């Protein structure tokens, strides 16, 4: 059987030109169809992103004004006006306290993994379970803080902060670990060579040189914590009061206020929820963008 017959798509030869040979229609069709599907999938996702952002902005901007940013929830949720200041303050307090607690712990833990533990069994165990922790549903963390502490101490901002700290700590730990690993050993050698002790090398050389990356990781963890709702339901509970008390009474969070608004049958409550969503998404986006700017800036300056 000649070469030409073996290859049904055609073969260049006497009387047969390149223009006469074509890939089989089925191949061409399948390639085209799959390309279309892939492009459609991408468009679908992009449109979804667009729809979410556009609606948040459009609906949120209608209610977003100075009054919204500076006043608290009205006592009757049916009333229009007011804002989510109580939620904003609550989120700021709880995320702030959680960061103050979880960031140093996370950084030190990462220092252990990279500088002291290296490949030993304890470090492997910590790393593994830190990964497990990042995958734990946040509502479970809330349940834990409830059963272990809230039953004894009551709902409060501190309880919410504890829950957020538990969520943030493994994230900060793992991202800091990655950053610390990038510190070149020449830098450490130089420090040791000058007679610095290990703890001084860590605190004065290693951590500062990884600082941009660590900061990025921390900011991303803060952005995540700012959006958390479920664990706060079970620890801070939420409230309409405008308060900044760390202890002794429930406190509102921005995310909780939005959650309430989503379940609110009244238009005023829903309108506030959209403005709150816009407020929250702006905060998160600013944190995320800042985080990335810090990373790219530091790379450029090196």
Partner 1 sequence: MNESPVFSVRDLNMHYSSNLALKDISMDIRPKRITAIIGPSGCGKSTLIRCFNRMNELIPAARVSGQVLYHGEDIYAPGVDPVVVRRHIGMVFQRPNPFPKSIYDNVAFGAKINGYKEDMDELVERSLRRAALWDEVKSKLKKSALDLSGGQQQRLCIARAIAVEPDVILMDEPASALDPIATVRIEDLMQELKQDYSIIIVTHNMQQAARVSDETAFLYTEVDEATSARWGILVEFGETGQIFTKPHDKRTEDYVSGRFG
Partner 2 sequence: MQSAVNSSAPAPPVGGGRPSPGPGAWRRTGVGRWADPLFAILAALCGVLVLLVLAYMVISTTGTALPVFRSQGISFVTSTDWDPNQGQFGALAFIYGTIVTSAIALIIAVPLSIGVALFSTEYAPKRVRGLLTYAVDLLAAVPSVIYGLWGVFVLLPLFLQPVADFLAKYLGWIPIFKGPASGLSYFGAGIILAIMITPIITALTREVLATVPTADRHAAFALGATRWEMIRAAVLPRSRAGIVGATMLGLGRALGETIAVALLVGSVAKVDASVVRPGYSMAAVIANTFSEATGEHIRALVGIGVVLFVMTVIINMAARAIVWRFNRI
49 lies in the binding site for partner 2 (CB under 8 A) = yes
CA distances 70 to 64, 67, 109, 142, Å, are 11, 5, 39, 29
Alpha-helical regions (H) of the chain: 3-6, 25-63, 66-70, 85-111, 121-134, 138-145, 151-153, 157-181, 185-193, 198-200, 207-227, 230-233, 254-263, 267-301
By C-beta, is 17 or 152 nearer to partner 1?
17
Q: Report the site for partner 1 in 22-41 (rule: CB under 8 A).
A: 22-24, 27
Return d(Cα 97, Cα 246) in angstroms, integer. Answer: 9
- Cβ atoms 5, 16 nearer than 8 A: no
Q: Report the site for partner 2 in 103-142 (rule: CB under 8 A).
A: 105-106, 108-109, 111-113, 115-117, 122-123, 125-126, 129-133, 135-141
By C-beta, is 53 or 182 nearer to partner 2?
53
- By a kind-dependent CB cut-off of 5 to 8 A, residue 3 interacts, out of partner 1, partner 2, none, with partner 1
By C-beta, is 9 or 131 nearer to partner 1?
9
Q: Report the site for partner 2 in 160-219 (rule: CB under 8 A).
A: 166, 169-170, 173, 195, 197-200, 202
Q: Which range, of 19-27, 123-131, 233-241, 268-276, touches partner 1 by CB under 8 A? A: 19-27
Give the 3-state secondary structure percentages of the chain, helix then strand then coil, rounded to 5. Answer: 75, 0, 25
* Minimum distance from residue 40 beta carbon to partner 1 (Å): 23
* Minimum distance from residue 196 beta carbon to partner 2 (Å): 8
* Minimum distance from residue 61 beta carbon to partner 2 (Å): 15
* Minimum distance from residue 32 beta carbon to partner 1 (Å): 13
208 lies in the binding site for partner 1 (CB under 8 A) = no
Residue corresponding to tokens 């009387």: 15
Alpha-helical regions (H) of 196-302: 198-200, 207-227, 230-233, 254-263, 267-301
Q: Which range, of 33-41, 63-71, 81-89, 182-190, touches partner 2 by CB under 8 A? A: 33-41
Element (H, E) at 13: none
DSSP state of 146: I
Number of Cβ within a 10 Å radius of residue 88 = 22
- Cβ atoms 205, 196 nearer than 8 A: yes
Instruction: Note the residue count of the chain.
Output: 302
Q: Which range, of 12-20, 21-29, 183-191, 293-301, touches partner 2 by CB under 8 A? A: 21-29
Interface contacts to partner 1, rule CB under 8 A: 1, 3, 5-12, 17-19, 21-24, 27
């Amino acid at each position: 059987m000649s070469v030409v017959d073996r290859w049904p798509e055609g073969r260049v030869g006497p009387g047969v030109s390149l223009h006469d040979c074509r890939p089989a229609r089925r191949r061409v069709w399948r390639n085209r169809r799959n390309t279309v599907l892939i492009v459609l999938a991408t468009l679908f996702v992009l449109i979804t992103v667009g729809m979410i952002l556009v609606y948040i902005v459009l609906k949120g901007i209608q209610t977003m004004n100075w009054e919204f940013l500076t006043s608290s929830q009205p006592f009757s949720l049916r009333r229009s006006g007011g804002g989510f200041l109580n939620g904003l303050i609550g989120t700021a307090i709880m995320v702030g306290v959680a960061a103050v607690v979880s960031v140093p712990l996370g950084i030190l833990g990462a220092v252990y993994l990279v500088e002291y533990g290296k490949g030993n069994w304890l470090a492997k165990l910590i790393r593994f379970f830190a990964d497990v922790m990042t995958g734990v549903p946040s509502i479970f963390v809330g349940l834990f803080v409830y059963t272990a502490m809230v039953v004894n101490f009551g709902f409060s901002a501190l309880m919410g902060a504890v829950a957020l700290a538990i969520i943030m700590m493994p994230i900060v730990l793992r991202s800091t670990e990655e950053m610390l690993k990038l510190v070149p050993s020449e830098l450490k050698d130089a420090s040791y060579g000058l007679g610095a002790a290990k703890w001084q090398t860590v605190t004065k050389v290693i951590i500062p040189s990884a600082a941009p990356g660590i900061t990025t990781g921390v900011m991303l963890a803060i952005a995540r914590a700012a959006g958390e709702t479920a664990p706060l339901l079970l620890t801070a509970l939420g409230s309409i009061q405008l308060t900044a008390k760390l202890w002794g009474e429930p406190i509102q969070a921005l995310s909780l206020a939005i959650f309430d608004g989503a379940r609110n049958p009244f238009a005023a409550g829903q309108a506030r929820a959209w403005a709150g969503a816009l407020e929250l998404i702006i905060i998160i986006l600013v944190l995320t963008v800042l985080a990335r700017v810090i990373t790219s800036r530091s790379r450029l300056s090196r």
